[in-house]
Amino acid sequence: MSAFSGRLVVASHNLGKVREIGALLAPLGVEAVSAGELGLPEPEETEPTFVGNAILKARAAAEASGLPALADDSGLEVLALGGDPGVLSARWAGEGRDFGLAMRKVWDALQARRATDFSARFVCVLALAQPGGDVQSFEGEARGSIVWPPRGDKGFGYDPIFLPTGLDRTFGEMSHDEKLPLTHRAHAFEKLLAALT
């Protein structure tokens, strides 16, 4: 597991995301430090895909810190909205990162289209970059559907309107420990760990 020896930068300033990634890394005995803690700037996400943005963020953090860096780009894709909000998931929340507003925009867009199919998925791409070296990427997903009104005050982002397939509680109604193994991020991590072991 040489790619994970010592310290690793989690290339994110999103505290909820950093917490989830930190929990997934914990069993490996890795010292994870966030880009925010190191004072690294957030690069502008200019790529049109999750994989493109994850690689961009991982490379920037690895080069700025001189440490291996793990970046995640993730978001919500709603089938009836043609995959929106997709890579723009955080931007739908505006400058203030108001996900109450973002969830309302998703629901309003579905109503405007008179949607009857509320299928959705969370997508996560993890990119692991070595300073001056190669980058590997891994994709995971969690399938489910959109519900309204939002349910639960746990989790973050769009969790309160996402009902995982086959379950009766939204991600927003689950504890951190209940939700984590079901997430798109956990599924991407499974692929990353399989490739490194």
Give the pair of three-digit tokens for residue 117.
Answer: 């199919």
Helix/strand/coil for 157 = coil
**15-19, 36-40, 61-65, 165-169, range with the lowest pLDDT:** 15-19
- Three-state DSSP state, 23: helix
The pLDDT value recorded for residue 3 is 52
Catalytic entry in 73, 108, 117, 177: 73
What whole-number percentage of the chain has pLDDT above 70? 97
- Give the model confidence (pLDDT) of 119-173 as tens digits: 999 999 999 999 987 899 999 999 999 999 999 999 889 999 999 999 999 999 9
Active site residue 73: yes
The number of distinct structural domains making up the chain is 1
pTM score of the predicted model:
0.87
User: What is the extent of the structural domain holding 9?
Assistant: 2-196
Q: Please compute the mean of the pLDDT values over residues 12-18 and round it to a whole number.
A: 79
73 bridge partner residues: 125
Q: How confident is the model at residue 1 (pLDDT cuts 50, 70, 90)?
A: very low
Residue 18 has pLDDT above 90, yes or no: no
Q: What is the pLDDT of residues 71-84, one digit of tens each?
A: 999 999 999 999 99
**CATH number of the structural domain spanning residue 74:** 3.90.950.10
CA–CA separation, 121 vs 90, rounded Å? 15
CA dihedral 188, 78, 154, 15 (to 10 degrees): 50
Q: Confidence class of residue 7 from pLDDT cuts 50, 70 and 90?
A: confident
